[in-house]
Amino acid sequence: MNKIIAYCGLVCSDCPAYIATQAGDKPALDKIVEQWRVEYNAPNITLEGVMCDGCLGGGRKCGHCFECEIRACGIQKGVANCSVCPDYGCAKLEEFLKMAPHLRANLEALRK
pLDDT at position 5 is 93
pLDDT for position 1: 60
**Domain encompassing residue 74:** 12-111
Residue 5 included in any domain:
no
- Overall domain count for the chain: 1
The yes-or-no verdict on residue 57 having pLDDT over 90 is no
73 domain-assigned: yes
> Would residue 35 count as lying in a domain?
yes
- The predicted-structure confidence for 31-55, as pLDDT tens digits, reads as follows 999 999 999 898 999 999 999 998 8
Contact 82, 74 (CB under 8 A): yes
pLDDT tens digits for range 63-75 = 777 788 999 999 9
Distinct helix (H) and strand (E) counts, the chain: 6, 0
Q: Is residue 4 part of a domain?
A: no
Residue 18 lies inside a defined structural domain of this protein: yes
What are the tens digits of pLDDT across the range 69-105?
Answer: 999 999 999 999 999 999 999 999 999 999 999 999 9
Question: For residues 86 and 93, is the Cβ–Cβ distance under 8 A?
Answer: no
